Every structure is written in structure tokens, then in C-alpha cells.
């Protein structure tokens, strides 16, 4: 409804691109959501096209009832960020979307630990974090911030803090909407 | 934020209803006396926007419960259709079947679309005395999210958003 990002992007977020970029694109996404996997490809192209003019931020919005592995996937990504840093987080983020549809068990805990290793993190640390729900609070906080911001499904995008209700499924239309945000 | 033209606005008494949720089970507004009820009309089971909207609310049942509120979905689909939809989407709240006479409850809330023969995408928060405390009609193709519901529940409980 309100469609305004709350809270604004801060150091607590996973961000790639300059903090003073004219466009900040925030995605609320779910690592088990097929639409989000499609959006991931579009965003990769958008990032190439916009370069330093774009800062991209990802926040967790796992719809756990329909995507039973989405919550653990989000926790695993948070764990990678906490222990192995931002570059590893983004690698993990990409791996999750790229492998999401590999098989029915592509996002089970064993695979999550495997992607974490590939991203440069410690698989055991991730397994332990999943077993102890160490990052549940962080994921839940992201989720509720999305609800407060008017997220209504996944993915939901915010361009410079305003919910984007337009079409993101083609690079051309998405890019045009992003360009319009600068004017 | 406020209700648009035709849905019953805040302050109106909530029209009573008793509707099937399964082939042999009914739910009435009176069943929830003393409790807050979130009544979410949506146009149809299975349509993509509705699916996302109900999937979102499904995740928030615990959050609504913290505010002492129960969630009821409602559309003109029959109980068998609701059953299949709820099972496929793993929905953990009742879906009311406003099926016969078709859309009668939606009409009583000012939330019926005659041309399409479906309910509007309309939200109502009803307090324990049966008074509507907040209502909202969303454009039919737009998923209204849940922030408006949570803000309404908070203002009823006197909490800060």
C-alpha cells in the first residue's frame, strides 16, 4: 500500500555498487522463488548496463510456507556474509539462484553448505548456524521490514526507496524505469 | 489509506455472515465475538495476484495473532475449489465460500464486482464488538500487501507502528 522502503538502506544491508550512486535498487527476494531466479538474470544485465550509476541491495523475503527451503537458504547466505564478508555473500547469492532449479534437493542443508564452501565460507559454520537458528532473527527482520514497506510478493523492487510496480521481466523496460528515477 | 467509494467504511457495523469453508463446515462472524477479525475478500482462487496475496498473509498469521486477530479469506469460489487451493498453497487459515447466493456477503460489504461476478480485492479489520475499524479496496490487479492491516491492528491496540 504505502510502497515506501522502511527502513532506508544502511550499512546493515548487503549492497553492491557505490553508496552515492544515483540509483539504488532494492530487491526483496526469496532464494527458492523461480521468479526471483529470473529476476537475478535481469539484474545481472542491469548491473552491467548501469555500472557505477547503480547500487543494488538484496533483502530477504522468504515465503517459507510455499518454499520450505527458502528460510534456511536465506540464513545460510547471512551466515556467509557474517563470517566470510561481502564478496562471499554475493557469490553465495548468485550460486543459490543459479542452482535453485538443479534438482528437488538443490537447496537442502547439505547443498547450502556446499555452496557456502564454494563461496569461500566454512561449511561447518553454516551447518551449525542452521542448526542453532543463529541468523533467524536477521532474516525475520528483513521479512518484516518488507511487509512494512508494502512488499506483496517476490520479487518486489524499490527504486530509490519507492516500490516499483512496473515490469521487471525485460531488461529494456526495467532499465527505462531505472533511468526515469534519475531525472 | 482510507476506504474508497463503495466498500463499507470504518465505523460501520460489520454485516453478519455464515459461510461454508468446507463441504460440511461453516464459519460465522459471530464465532469470533470478542476477537479481531481480518476479512480479506479476493477475486478468485488460483489467479496469480491472489495467490501471492494469500501466500503473504499465510506467512503473517503469527504476526496477526500477536495482535489477537484471526484471518479469514473470502471469494465466490466453491468449497471444493477453496479446499484444493488451500492444500496446494499450504494455507493455514479458512477460506470462506461466498458461493450461494453468489457474492451475497461481498455485496453486503460493498465489495462485489457485478460485471465480473467476483468480489473486489477488499480488506476489512473488524473489532470484537463487530464494528469495522479499517477498510481498504485495492485496484483489482494490485496486491495490497499487509502493511495497511498491520497499521490498523496497531492503531486499535494503541501501539506505535
B50 is catalytic: yes
**Spatial contact of A33 and A2, defined as CB atoms under 8 Å apart:** no
Nearest to A153 among B1, B52, B90 (CB): B52
pLDDT in tens, B48-75: 766 688 999 999 999 999 999 999 999 9
Query: For A10-30, what is the mean pLDDT?
Result: 97
Task: Say how many CB pairs under 8 Å bridge A and B.
Answer: 56
Contact A149 B52 (CB under 8 A): no
> What gap in Å lies between CA B34 and CA A104, rounded to an integer?
45
> What gap in Å lies between CA A163 and CA A6, rounded to an integer?
11
pLDDT in tens, A64-100: 998 999 999 999 999 999 999 999 999 999 999 999 9
Question: For residue B2, what pLDDT band results from cuts at 50, 70 and 90?
Answer: very low
Contact A147 B147 (CB under 8 A): yes
Taking the CA of residue A17 and the nearest CA in chain B, the distance in Å comes to: 29
| pLDDT of res. B6 | 84
Q: What's the ipTM?
A: 0.83
Taking the CA of residue B51 and the nearest CA in chain A, the distance in Å comes to: 9
What are the DSSP calls for chain B, one per residue?
A: ----SSSPPTTSBPPP-EEEEETTEEEEGGGGTTSEEEEEE-S-TT-HHHHHHHHHHHHTHHHHHHTTEEEEEEESS-HHHHHHHHHHHT--S-EEE-BTTBTHHHHHTT-EETTTTEE-EEEEEE-TTSBEEEEEEE-TTS---SHHHHHHHHHHHT---
* Contact list, B159 vs chain A (CB under 8 Å): none
Query: For A89-116, what is the mean pLDDT?
Result: 97
Amino acid at each position: 500500500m504505502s510502497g515506501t522502503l522502511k527502513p532506508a538502506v544502511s550499512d546493515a544491508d548487503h549492497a553492491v555498487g557505490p553508496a552515492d550512486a544515483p540509483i539504488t535498487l532494492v530487491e526483496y527476494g526469496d532464494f527458492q522463488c523461480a521468479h526471483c531466479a529470473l529476476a537475478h538474470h535481469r539484474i545481472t544485465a542491469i548491473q552491467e548496463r548501469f555500472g557505477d550509476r547503480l547500487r543494488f541491495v538484496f533483502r530477504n523475503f522468504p515465503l517459507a510456507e510455499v518454499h520450505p527451503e527458502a528460510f534456511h537458504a536465506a540464513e545460510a547466505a547471512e551466515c556467509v556474509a557474517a563470517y566470510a564478508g561481502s564478496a562471499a555473500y554475493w557469490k553465495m547469492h548468485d550460486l543459490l539462484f543459479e542452482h535453485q532449479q538443479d534438482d528437488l534437493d538443490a537447496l537442502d542443508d547439505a547443498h547450502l553448505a556446499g555452496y557456502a564452501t564454494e563461496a569461500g565460507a566454512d561449511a561447518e559454520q553454516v551447518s551449525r548456524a542452521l542448526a542453532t537458528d543463529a541468523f533467524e532473527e536477521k532474516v525475520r527482520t528483513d521479512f518484516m521490514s518488507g511487509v512494512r514497506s508494502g512488499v506483496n510478493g517476490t520479487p518486489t523492487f524499490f527504486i530509490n526507496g519507492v516500490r516499483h510496480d512496473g515490469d521487471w521481466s525485460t531488461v529494456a523496460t526495467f532499465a527505462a524505469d531505472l533511468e526515469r528515477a534519475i531525472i | 489509506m482510507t476506504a474508497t467509494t463503495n466498500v463499507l467504511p470504518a465505523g460501520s457495523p460489520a454485516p453478519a455472515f455464515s459461510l461454508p469453508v468446507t463441504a460440511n463446515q461453516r464459519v460465522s462472524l459471530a464465532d469470533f465475538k470478542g476477537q479481531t477479525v481480518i476479512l480479506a475478500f479476493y477475486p478468485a482462487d488460483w489467479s496469480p495476484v491472489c495467490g501471492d496475496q494469500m501466500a503473504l498473509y499465510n506467512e503473517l498469521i503469527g504476526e496477526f495473532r500477536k495482535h489477537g486477530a484471526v484471518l479469514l479469506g473470502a471469494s465466490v469460489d466453491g468449497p471444493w475449489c477453496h479446499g484444493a487451493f488451500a492444500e496446494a498453497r499450504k494455507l493455514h487459515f479458512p477460506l470462506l465460500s461466498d458461493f450461494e447466493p453468489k457474492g451475497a456477503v461481498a455485496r453486503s460489504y460493498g465489495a462485489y464486482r457485478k460485471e465480473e461476478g467476483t468480489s473486489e480485492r477488499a480488506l476489512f479489520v473488524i473489532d470484537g464488538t463487530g464494528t469495522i475499524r479499517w477498510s481498504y479496496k485495492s485496484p483489482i490487479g494490485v496486491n495490497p500487501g499487509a502493511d495497511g492491516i498491520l497499521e490498523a491492528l496497531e492503531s486499535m491496540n494503541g501501539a506505535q507502528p
